[in-house]
Amino acid sequence: MSIPAGDAISVAKQLPNGKSYVLKDFPANYHMFEHHKGKADAPRHDVYLFVALVSVLFQSLSLMPFGSWEMEAMRASANTVLKKPQREITSSMGKLLCTSSTPSPTRPAWTKSEKPEKKNIWAKQPRLADHLQNAKTYVAVQKSVSLPKTSPHIQTKSVMWVERNNHLRDACRPASEGSFPRWFRDGELVWCSLAEPIVRPDECDAIHFWPAIIEATGILLHDVPADSASTPWVVRQSTACKVKFLAIQRSYLLPDAMIIPYQVDVIPSTILQPIVDRPVPEWDLSPNQLTSFDPCPPPPGPLPTFSDALTPLALALQIASALSGFWSLTDEWDAKLTLPPGVRPPPPPPSLQSAIEFAGANNANMGSISSGPRGQGHPTRFQGFWWGGERIWADDLVRLKVPRNCLASMGAQHIFAPSGPGPKSRSLAESRGGDPTLYGASSRGVFMKIDTIFLVEGSGKRECRVTGMLYELADLDWEDHNLPRIGDSISNGAPATGQPPELPNPGATGGFFALPSAPAGFKFRPILAPGYEVVMCPSLISGRYYPPHHAAPIDNTISRRGHSPTIRSYVNAGNRASLGP
């Protein structure tokens, strides 16, 4: 193996050409090594020069500039020893690498082979210009075809928020074994059932629930013993939530059956009274004291005492009370739509009496319940809002604070009268000697499916409004043939005469996300005339509606105020499990 270091140094020193130069000897403390890489029968030979004083290795291509630097003290070439990449060293050599090299004993010299003479492929073919000149270009005349213009009622820029779509889909998911539609959403304030209640000494009362914030939702996998001998267990999945208990900053993984909405339950006065009566010196609100409290310790550890739980519970209740009093609009979008001109009313009649009657009728129509955001050309809308500790989206079914008997109890313009009792309810009332009219929908609440959330701008302030259809709970066997039905009163999907055109919501999900299931024995009945909707202030909203399949475990949990001892092990086993998507 030969490395033309001497020739490279001669070029750098501008020695006479035509001679072959070699190094007489290496300087002191320099040693050369040959490094074999690759297979044993056909290794690759790499030559390195080792400098003992500075512990630096130089590859074979680095020997030539380094030798020149040693001989001529060329400080500009010293960068090659400062761990520069090899490709930079090679590219900077320039003229030094142009010296002739001697073939290696293990690698023969490369000889330039003679390439076969290429045939002239264009000799017997026409020129490209002649070929293009003879080609025919297609040109034709036809009737112009234009795509239809986009309708002004279709939103192309504002789309449905992904989080809203997922939450509404989870709510519409059908119930199955061990799984229910997911009604709890990230960031919501809920009550979490303790694995074992914290019992008050010498009393029958106990702390059964703790306020918490939902951090994440997912699927909880757990094994259940099977009856078959070949399969000792069966894997089940159920919806679960990762929750963080307030005040103590501890997270747990709980199934949905152990979580209830915050508005469902309240702490009884028998638990609040010991908090009020506790002396001030006994209150220790230091972070270390609060975080050290664990209401669900892993077995077989001792359960916390009632006295130790009062301080963190009082702080948790205060935090939850503050959170439930706030609200905020989210996911703003601008409905920039070009509305068609409305239908102009006919000119007033010439007579004075007819003009007065026409003006009175026109003023009455201005106060219609259907007047809302339809006249705005660029309203600011929102896809959802936080209402206390609940996450509410457009297309959610919510409960209203107004009872049915306070909302047009005898019926009004565009509002139907409350539905009466069905045959079963009527017979039950008559058997008990009661008034059958009290068993109708007037004794129940009112619900609203939110369609639009918007801002009303004007008069120096901005106010929020929500629109949608109102529903009542009617008996399942109740029928009224006098009231029109939605399918019978609307033909070809057109709204009633004089009704402004429908403004779209991002995602247009009104028809996709159907109403949730009503309680057993009841059905949701719209109480507004077809083509009309209500516009109201959100302060009339009480909260989201939770279907009966979720209300059943809630009622059982509150009535029993406790769980079996096996749930404690189940909760702690779930904390060690993984939360799937």
Q: Cβ distance 540 to 464 under 8 Å?
A: no
Q: Determine how many CB atoms are found less than 10 A away from the CB of residue 185.
A: 22
Report the relative pairing of strands 461-475 and 522-526 from DSSP bridges: antiparallel
Please report, for the chain, the start and end positions of each structural domain, with discontinuous segments joined by +: 5-98, 173-326+551-580, 327-342+369-387+397-544
> Under a CB-based contact definition with an 8 Å cutoff, are residues 333 and 455 in contact?
no
Token pair for residue 168?
């509404």
The answer to whether 254 and 209 have CB atoms below 8 angstroms apart is: no
**What gap in Å lies between CA 220 and CA 463, rounded to an integer?**
42
Structural contact between residues 218 and 579, judged by C-beta atoms closer than 8 angstroms? yes
Q: CA 188 to CA 214: how far, in whole Å?
A: 6
Q: List the pLDDT tens digit at each of the 581 positions of the chain.
A: 456 777 777 777 778 887 887 777 777 777 777 888 888 888 888 877 777 655 555 555 556 566 665 665 444 444 445 455 656 655 555 545 444 444 444 444 555 555 556 555 555 566 666 666 666 544 443 443 444 565 665 555 667 778 888 888 887 777 665 556 788 999 999 999 998 999 988 777 899 999 999 999 888 777 888 877 777 888 887 788 999 999 998 999 998 889 999 998 888 888 999 999 999 888 988 999 899 999 999 888 788 999 999 999 999 999 999 999 999 999 888 776 555 555 555 555 555 556 556 655 555 554 444 444 444 456 788 999 999 999 999 999 999 998 999 888 888 888 899 998 888 888 888 888 878 878 889 889 999 999 989 888 776 677 888 999 999 999 998 887 655 554 443 333 333 333 333 433 444 445 567 888 888 889 999 999 888 888 889 999 999 998 875 544 445 555 554 443 333 333 333 333 334 33
Nearest to 264 by CA among 568, 545, 560: 545
Q: According to the model, what pLDDT value does residue 44 have?
A: 85
The pLDDT value given to residue 499: 37
Residue with tokens 């002649």: 130
pLDDT at res. 569: 34
Q: Is 186 helix (H, G, I), strand (E, B) or coil?
A: coil
Beta bridge partners of 224: 234
Contacts of 542 (CB under 8 A, 6+ apart): 263, 398, 399, 400, 401
pLDDT of residue 341: 56
Q: Is the pTM of this model over 0.85?
A: no
Question: What 3-state DSSP class applies to 452?
Answer: strand
Q: How high is the pLDDT of residue 77?
A: 44
